[in-house]
Amino acid sequence: MRLKLTVEYDGTEFCGWAAQPELRTVEKEVRAALAAVFPAYDKLAVAGRTDTGVHALRNVVSVDVEGGPPAARAAEALNAGLPDDVAVVAAEEAASDFHARHSARSRSYRYRIWRRRAPSPFEDKRSWWYPRPVDERRLADAADLLLGEHDFRAFTPTETQHEVFKRNVVRAQWHRRGDALEFEITADSFLRHMVRTLVGTMVELPPDQIAPLLEGRPRSEAGSTAPPWGLYLERVDY
């Protein structure tokens, strides 16, 4: 049976999604839970390979399992073996050709900036505390520039495994929610560090300096990369 698992986690204590020797990762915890529940599993794939410190509200995993509980009880069984900072919020049987990464049509991310003059202990490692002045109108204008297909190589590390840098952005908006300023973006897929570098660049540079960057300019011309703890993988659409 192929399972589709919807997973959420607080990325604070994880060295990202992908399993790495001697490091605590989300994948390692999920694999341990799968091994404890199912006699055998194979072909585990994830929609978003989040980096160190990045959170997920609804990441998606696909995996083939043998034996064990039915799909309706899989989430409860897996959660019994997962640590408190990871949870399977839904489990369902998927088509045999479903693949968490390759079947995805789009992914949505949210980046949270904490704007209060004083820091909050409840926002620590869950948002970027940035009390300095920010022109919110300028941020909105910069977000509008991102819509459509552009070459985003200026917003990913120079040393990269990516060969194609064009991405199609279908939604990009800033929202003020109380003391938080949140950037929400949806695209067909994302480059490594793309959202965080877009956020850092929009905070630092005016829109007229960002527009040329979307034509494939080098990374050195864009702004800083915002810290990982403000970033959330919000959802994956299929």
Which tokens belong to 82?
């997962």
Rounded Cα gap, residues 45 and 220, in angstroms: 33
Catalytic residues: 51
Pairing verdict, β 106-114 and 2-9:
unpaired
Mapped onto helix, strand or coil, the DSSP state of residue 63 is strand
Nearest to 179 by CA among 214, 145, 215, 129: 129
Cα 57 to Cα 8, 134, 138: the distances in Å are 5, 27, 28
Chain CA centroid to CA 47, Å: 9
Name residue, tokens 């839904």.
90
Alpha-carbon distance values, 221 to 11, 20, 154, 158, 189 (Å)? 29, 32, 7, 11, 22
Measure the CA–CA gap between 135 and 13, rounded to whole angstroms: 33
According to DSSP, the residues that pair with 128 across neighbouring strands are 113
Degrees to nearest 5, angle at CA 180 with 122 and 234: 85
| 96 membership: H or E segment, kind and range | none
